[in-house]
Structure 1
Amino acid sequence: MMAARAMGTCDDSKKGMVTACESYLPMVKLMRKVLHVNGMGKNVNIFNKRSDELQVGVDIPSRADVLVSEILDSELLGEGLIPTLQHAHDELLVDNPLTVPYRATTYGQLVESTFLWKLHDLSKNEEEASDSIRLVPPGLDTILGVKTQQHPMQCDAISKEINLLSEPFKIFEFDFWKRPDSQGDSKVLIKATNDGRVHAVVSWWVLQLDSEGTIFYSTAPGWITSPVATYTGNWRDHWKQCVWFIPGEGIPISKGEEVHLHAVHSDTRVSYNLATQATEIREGDSSSGDSHLTLSPERIAIYGDRKWRSCMLTALKNLLRERVHPLCVVADDSVFLSLLIAHLSKNSKVIALFPGLRERGVQYLKAVADANGFTADRVEVFQKKKHLTLHDTKQKQVDLLIGEPYYYGNDGMLPWQNFRFWKERTMLDSVLAEDVLVMPCKAMLKACAMSLPDLWKSRRCLSKIEDFDHSIVNNTLGACGDLPEPQEGPLLPFFIWQCGETKELSETFTVMEFDFSKSIGPCYGKAQVINLHLTLSLFCNSDHQGHYCWDMAVRFLGSKYPNIIPYSRSWFMFSNLIVVLCECASSPLVNFFPHTLEICKLRFLIQSSFAMDENGLIACLGINRSLA
């Protein structure tokens, strides 16, 4: 619409046309509605195709003079920018076209961060654990780890835990106005500005939108002070910085020492090789074998966390005291618990369901069994599609049913989808002993009122954008606030530490409790009234009494009133947030009472229910709010 409007202001007598491509049909339908509302249905021709499916003479009458594109992700290349530009220059554009953006430049910086190191180096971090389990045994460094790639991350959130070891340096430059190459490399000589150990390369990109170089857009972290980099300083969820982990413990460097960076890009990704005179760290082996298992950085950090592992060790030891020759079923994808139970109890028989890992889990256990003090035949991975029966257990009933719970591939899902463990427990009821021990035996859904202004702004209802009416998209896209009754906002998972500015505004309260020792019924729920005192005080919710909160959950009770299950600053902060946005005043509550600690009292009626489906649990929560 901006292109069509700009074209209409030109003095050129030739009549122009804007062609837009979108392969996702629901988005095409929504685009047409927006065009209609703004009276521009005849100014923009939309094709339900990818741009590389367009043909000159069939879809468009001639080659285009101008290309406007936003095929970008946090890494820049991940959404297929290069092949899309190549096809456009080959088939759709005139020679020397005008393009917006004009150019993209990627930058990087060497950093030291124990926080980032713990996100990928499980081998060294688990050496401090007291359980003697080795998820990454010596000599099998690539058996389990994170994917070798750039990982999108809000680096401002951990700026206090980062030691900068170099000045920013330019890596690649991509000109949109000419055909890009599929592959390229760049060699950069970097001088260290501080002593330390290089744990990661933090990277970002800067768009030059016009050919004159007067308009820029940057995804640089907040500590970058370049005028270009700070042109836009707002928090954003769609484009972040990227982190490339240096394998192992990183590279030790001294101030003034030179570091050689060799960057290579394909048509969709960028990789790095870092070296000093004394040390060379090559790109990790991305062509993993059958036994190589990749997990998310958050899961690697949890598995390397000494306190978390100690909690699991204590709980399992207590369970095993009550069983002599137990049959144990690991209901989820926890390779850690599978190894731990086999290691602790030499008389146990372990059946791992591994619903997501399956054959990958089998190969992994075979590779690490000997290093963990048991033979591979002690742990059987159940690979049938049907549910476990007494025939499969040779008529022996299950004594222990355990899980973290963790399900492979469920990263970024709603937290209560981990309650799939409860579903598995219910489906296995016929093979469980009457005195079966279940771990975890109980779950609690907790919440507290929070202010998340940055996240709220990124999800709030749209109205006028560049003088174009976008309000029609709010319901479809799941916007928050200003929705007509009785519509509610969406359920969205987030990591709270990645949500920008945060403030906890109330005490923590329990919404629901779940008893995993019993089977789940067809529907489970309750209604209750919660009275909250909203304050500006910040607090942490650390539980050292054996309770285990594996997931966080957020529900936006209104424009500025999100609810969260908080946990102390540990690896549990990587747990997902559930965001539900409802109707509320558009201004933040704290602005009404800026000089008082206790802001006001709110009363909530929370009606909640959980029902089981084929993937786990579906939650239904309704919240009504009133000022006390």
Structure 2
Amino acid sequence: MRSSLLSSYKPPISISTLRSLLPSPSSSSRGFSVHLMSLLASSAAAAAPPGARVRAFQLQLNPLTGDSEWVVVDGDDDDVEEEEKRRTRSSTTTMATTSYLDMLNDAERNRAFRLAVERTISGPCRVLDIGAGTGLLSMMAARAMAKFDSQKEGKVTACESYLPMWKLMRRVLRANGMETMVKVFYKRSDELQVGVELESPADLLVSEILDSELLGEGLIPTLQHAHDMLLVKNPQTVPYRATTYGQLVESPFLWKMHDLHNNEVNSLDGIHLTPNGLERIISAKPQQYAMHCNAISEGIRLLSEPFKIFEFDFWKRPASYGEKEIQIKAIDDGKVHAVISWWVLQLDSAGSIFYSTAPRWVRSSICQNKSSHMFGTNNWCDHWKQCVWFIDGTGMPALKDKYLSLKATHNETSISYTMVVEKQTSCNHSSLGDHLLVLPPEKVALYGDKDWRLVLSKAVKEALNTRSSPSCIVADDSVFLTTLIASLSKTSHVISIFPGLQDKGACYIQAISDANGFSMDRIKVIGKRTSSLISDDLTPRKVDLFVGEPFFYGNEGMLPWQNLRFWKERTLLDSILAEDAFIMPRKGILKVCAMSLPDLWRSRRSLKDVEGFDHSAVNEALGACGDLPTTEDGPCLPYYLWQCGDIKELSKVYSIMEFDFSVPIHACFGKTEIEFSTPGTCHGFALWIDWLIDERDSISISTGPVNRHWKQGVQLINKPVVVNVASCYAKIEASFEPSIGELSIKPSFSYPS
């Protein structure tokens, strides 16, 4: 997450003019917008007089409309205390969705870095910390140098380009009395210059800009620029080296997340989302997907031993591109559905301190030095996971003791894999077709789920049977419902609103129309949000069917109730709905279950001492829970509950609130009392929505923990509560505010007298 630098000193271009130049922050333009903002902001910052107020643009999203706007964030740190008091719940949630809190609660990570920094620094030196976060590594370096009595003074320079975190870092430095020991700049590292921000090239680079894939946060270009412009020749670095490893696995669960063509063969609805000849027209993006693979270990068959892939040395300039063909001996018969990968950090040059993100079934034998220490092998954390790369189609056959060939390639930001057969590269994504839809793996799996398809088909068939020549609106990015309605009713007229898929959605429907036996004359695709529709976009007739899945394109990070955008869109089009219009889903029921979530709660707990440094200043901004001055619980955040480490249900599932889509959107309130059915420690509550989809409200689709394709909302409580079946119960109150699309959750506990 990065923000752009601006100044209020009267730059060459005004903020209002700059905002007008930015495209609407849609999924396709957001990256360009941030890049443009960054370039313009850099020139503005360079020309700003000393002491000018730092400002930044950030995106603010209304989840019900899907609309975003650029808002100016004031970065004047003099008013930070007052600003913290004014911070809204939504902005706190934005900071809470970052990985900073989880990283700082990773005690093994913190200890490994501290030991490596202390063993690397043998006297005063010039240290550079890139992507400093809260300044933990900078403070470690400054403290390590302070132990040496020398006339040569060591210096620590740090940079952080995310404005809210830059502000928090300054607060943390002040709280630890180190604001004069660390010089921190609100800039990217490629904006730093020797002779300006740095007095001279740095002797030591300390940095942790690693994601689960390793390269996704720009490690390679950052190191390249640092070695070219900011560091001495042959510098010291912490970390010293990173090595990526992989393993070939068979897993039907992972296979279903990318191979829609071979999974929909088993469906009974007669709909062909990937017809013969267009097998790859819908696909998950060829990339590595971060996932807690320990959670699916029971559904995985290992088909190889772990193998080494790439090695990246931090102490020298890395190459932008690399490739390697690896011969891998199969240890069992089966089909290779995926490559599971992870990485191991060597933090010090002596090779005594390591950190691994390997799955639980891989032992620390990767670290061969008996005197070394391996961190990260026992703890659960959410900031670093394993990665999954899907093998094309039904998978690659493997025979025990035979060799398979895997080609690994990396560029500046990612690593990719291709299975090789007889020296000919298998087609992983070279013939994807002209009308390819790239969908999240969870949605690919959902579209291939025969039970999910059967339920929707049954509800739509019943509605169509009572309506002749119906006028239909598909309210979200559902190519399945568009195809289903057009196929089932030869007299229907369908308007499909594809705000995310846009023109690609229209091309897709055109491409599969013949295979599904319908004419495009009866389908109109509109590639914009409902709130942007004009009268010419819509049918002059009253709408008989208004339907949605709802599972909006690109909604992986959304809370369950933010899919109530369907309700908002139904409300915007209320005037054109027929009195007896079939609306699917008909209702949404907010569900709740009390949960034991020790791993997740531990990763979100409040910070005090982090390797000897006070971090209590960041708790409120990062949405921490536990041992806080206030009794207010942290924000409700989206998680795949099945990936949250050790979990246990402590109660049955209760209904809190009903959303009735037959009437326009309105504020809702609900409450329920939860009795505990299992003793244990309650860390919070899981929340989700069950969708009632037929006219009799007899068919439902659950987005709860039993369905691994959806994220649930998790409301952690301030302090865990030990519960006994007969000794206490919980109360949950929930209120929905339609103007902002937010749901507030208030849990409480009661004990019998």
TM over 0.5: yes
Contact 2:587 2:691 in 1 (8 A): no
CA shift, 1:580, in A, is 2.5
Cα distance in 2, alignment partners of residues 368 and 65 from structure 1 = 60
Residue 290 of structure 2 is matched in structure 1 by 152
Match of 2:718 in 1: 583
SS in structure 1 at match of 2:620: helix
> Does the 8 Å CA contact 2:657/2:668 hold for their aligned counterparts?
no
Structure 1 pair 625/423, CA: closer, same or farther in 2 (3 Å)? same
In the other structure, the counterpart of 2:183 is 45
Question: Of 724, 733, 742, which aligns to 1:618?
Answer: 742
Which of 304, 314, 329 is the matching residue for 2:473? Answer: 329
- The amino acid that maps onto 1:347 is T
Letter in 2 for 1:381: V
Query: For 1:258, which of 397, 403, 413 is the aligned residue?
Result: 403
Preserved CA contact (<8 Å) 2:190 2:222: yes
Tell me if 1:461 matches 2:591.
Answer: no
For the pair 1:548 / 2:693, whether they are aligned, the reply is no
Deviations 1:443-468 (A, max 9, x none): 10010100111111111111111011
Between stretches 223-232 and 472-481, larger displacement belongs to: 223-232
**In 1: Cα distance, 2:536 partner to 2:153 partner:** 75
Q: 1:192 aligns with which of 322, 326, 330?
A: 330
5 Å-filtered alignment, 1:209-224, equals: 209-224=347-362
Partner SS for 1:574: coil
Deviation at 1:76, TM superposition (A): 0.5
Q: Which moved more, 1:380-389 or 1:36-45?
A: 380-389
The one of 482, 486, 500 aligned to 1:338: 482
Tell me if the contact between 1:604 and 1:625 (Cα under 8 Å) persists in the aligned partners: yes
1:156-187 C-alpha deviation (Å, 9 max, x unpaired): 00011111011111010111111111111112
Deviations 1:414-466 (A, max 9, x none): 11011111111111110001111111111100101001111111111111110
Opposite residue 45 of structure 1, the aligned amino acid is: K
Match for 1:511 among 656, 659, 666?
Answer: 656
- SS of the residue corresponding to residue 340 of structure 1 reads helix
1:295 — aligned with what? 439
Structure 2: distance between partners of 1:543 and 1:223: 37
2:364 to 226, 235, 248: 226
Query: Which is worse superposed, 364-373 or 225-234?
Result: 225-234
Moved more, 486-495 or 260-269: 486-495
* Secondary structure of 1:221 counterpart: coil
Q: 1:40 to 1:390 in 2, by over 3 A?
A: closer
3-state SS in 1 of match to 2:501? coil
The answer to whether residue 726 in structure 2 is matched with residue 602 in structure 1 is no
Report the CA distance shift for 1:278/1:173 in structure 2 as closer, same or farther (over 3 A): closer
Correspondence list, 1:254-293, <5 A: 254-277=399-422, 281-285=426-430, 291-293=435-437
Q: Does the C-alpha gap of structure 1 residues 481 and 430 become closer, same or farther in structure 2, counting only changes over 3 Å?
A: same
What letter corresponds to residue 232 of structure 2 in structure 1? V
Deviation at 1:315, TM superposition (A): 0.7
CA 1:274–1:325 in 2, change beyond 3 Å: closer, same or farther? same
**Gapped regions of structure 2 (runs ≥ 5):** 1-138, 368-373, 681-687
The corresponding residue for 1:535 is 678
**Contact 1:67/1:99 (<8 A) preserved:** yes
Distance 1:226 1:448 in 2: 37
Structure-2 separation of matches of 1:247 and 1:23: 38
> Structure 1: how far apart are the matches of 2:485 and 2:446?
18
Contact 1:462/1:474 (8 A) holds in 2 = yes
Alpha carbons of structure 1 residues 389 and 25: separation in structure 2 relative to 1, 3 Å: closer
Find the counterpart in structure 1 of residue 315 from structure 2.
177
Could you tell me which of 430, 434, 440 is aligned with 2:585? 440
Q: Distance in 1 between matches of 2:236 and 2:638?
A: 39
Q: Contact (CA 8 Å) 1:405, 1:421: kept in 2 or not?
A: yes
Q: 2: distance between equivalents of 1:231 and 1:69? A: 17
Q: Tell me the distance in 2 between the aligned counterparts of 1:295 and 1:42.
A: 49
Give the match's secondary structure for 1:186: strand
Distance apart, 1:283 and its partner CA: 3.3
**Shift of residue 387 of structure 1?**
5.4
Find the residue that maps to 1:573 and give its secondary structure: coil
Structure 1 residues 394 and 32: alpha-carbon distance in aligned structure 2, compared to 1, 3 A threshold: closer
Q: Are the counterparts in 1 of residues 204 and 235 from structure 2 also a CA contact under 8 Å?
A: yes
SS at match of 2:507: helix
Aligned residues: 596
Partner of 1:369: helix, strand, or coil?
helix
Which sections of structure 1, spanning at least 5 residues, go unmatched? Answer: 553-565
Of all paired residues, the percent bearing the same amino acid is 55
The amino acid across from 2:599 in the alignment is D
Give the structure with the larger helix fraction.
2
Amino acid corresponding to residue 624 of structure 1 in structure 2:
S
Distance 1:194 1:39, change over 3 A: same
**In the aligned structure 2, how far is the partner of 1:26 from the partner of 1:625?**
34
2:233 corresponds, among 92, 95, 98, to: 95
Contact 1:105 1:174 in 2 (8 A): yes
Q: Residue 574 of structure 1 aligns to which amino acid in structure 2?
A: H
Between the aligned partners of 1:430 and 1:498, the Cα distance in structure 2 is 43
